[in-house]
Amino acid sequence: MLNNPPGPTLLGFDVIWVGTLLAFVAAAAVMLAIYAAVTVRDPMAKRVKALNERREQLKAGIVSSATKKRASLVRKSDATEKMRETMSSLKVLQDSQLKQIQQKLAQGGVRKKELAFVVLFVRMVTPIVLGLVTALLLFVFNVAPEWSAFKKVMAFGAALGLGYKGPEIYLSNIIGKRTAAIRKGLPDALDLLVICAEAGLTVDAAFNRVARELGRAYPELGDEFALTSIELSFLTERRHAFENLAYRVDLDSVKGVVTTMIQTERYGTPLASALRVLSAEFRNERMMRAEEKAARLPAIMTVPLILFILPVLFVVILGPASCQISDSFVNVKPS
């Protein structure tokens, strides 16, 4: 019975088997990309629902003047109530810290203020849990016996730091992504606001129109503009609606727009000309930011080029020659 000749090898690995595995991974990635492109969900569905809830809350808050009625608008679950009571009993709940977390949640697109208690409770409990698990694994079960005492103590400290800073890092990541998306669409939104202002629309109608037009291209910005339009329609002072917009968006450009809108409301200055100047400034800023990223690209690509691209080129170029040389040495019979 004849044995099948072995296939070409490179560094001890079968080239055909490795190529088959890479082809399978590439096919799976292509199928995943097609599935992600086909099953795109409407990003405005949840936001429209949240805005309708906010509209009802504002209506109820204006019609009702009783304090109990306004307090009932904030829906609190039993879990958040228990968390709040636990932190209050432990004397770890501070009003300044709670307001800061609520503002971060608003900047991240989370409308429920009671979730701030959840963030604070998780930040209090997670270091204890991770610290206990790490201490049990390292000091009781001795998972890493080759580690020295210093390494174990450092790992324990790293677990505590990760448990304390983890929720805050996650929340900051959400805020950064949302802020970047809003910054990207702000010049286009200002251009549309200028067109609406020159067409004779009121400020709240202009914000509503811009929110509808940019809702699919920039859903985060459309969400904020739609909520501002609702607050402009129902709040007693229009200045509070603009201040709420600056409160919810961690962006200096939005704060500049808010300041401009408040000044035009107070002094009656032309809105279209002021917004046109701001739009030009923001476009220049976006272009300068893009040029800065393009200038940094060669320096950033140096390390990936050395670590990932050049080795692949060497394998592709020298791989067949290495296989032929190894096969020729294997097939040489001793005399």
- Cα-to-chain-centroid distance, residue 155: 28
Distances (CA, A) of 101 to 78, 114, 181: 20, 10, 21
Contact of 109 with 223, CB cutoff 8 Å = yes
Exposed, middle or buried by CB within 10 Å (0-12, 13-18, 19+), for 27?
exposed
pLDDT band of residue 247 (cuts 50, 70, 90) is very high
Q: In whole angstroms, what is the distance from residue 187 CA to residue 281 CA?
A: 9
pTM, rounded to two decimals: 0.66
| Number of residues assigned to the chain | 335
Which bin fits 142, alpha (ψ -120 to 50), beta or left (φ > 0)?
A: left
- Cα-to-chain-centroid distance, residue 322: 46
pLDDT in tens, 89-116: 777 778 888 889 999 999 998 888 888 8
Nearest residue to 208 via CA among 192, 222, 226: 226
Residue 126 pLDDT: 92
pLDDT band of residue 70 (cuts 50, 70, 90) is very low
Residue with tokens 């109820």: 60
Which bin fits 76, alpha (ψ -120 to 50), beta or left (φ > 0)?
A: beta
H helices of the chain, where? 15-38, 45-63, 67-71, 78-89, 95-107, 115-135, 149-198, 203-213, 219-234, 238-248, 252-267, 271-304, 310-331
Q: Which long-range contacts (CB under 8 A, 24 or more apart) does 237-240 make?
A: 238/203, 238/265, 239/265, 239/266
pLDDT in tens, 285-301: 888 888 988 888 888 88
Helix/strand/coil for 201 = coil
Q: Which long-range contacts (CB under 8 A, 24 or more apart) does 318-323 make?
A: 319/10, 319/15, 322/10, 323/8, 323/9, 323/10, 323/15
Does the structure show a pLDDT above 90 at 198?
no
Amino acid in position 67: T
Residue 43 pLDDT: 57
Does the structure show a pLDDT above 50 at 177?
yes
pLDDT in tens, 202-241: 888 999 999 999 888 899 999 999 999 999 988 888 899 9
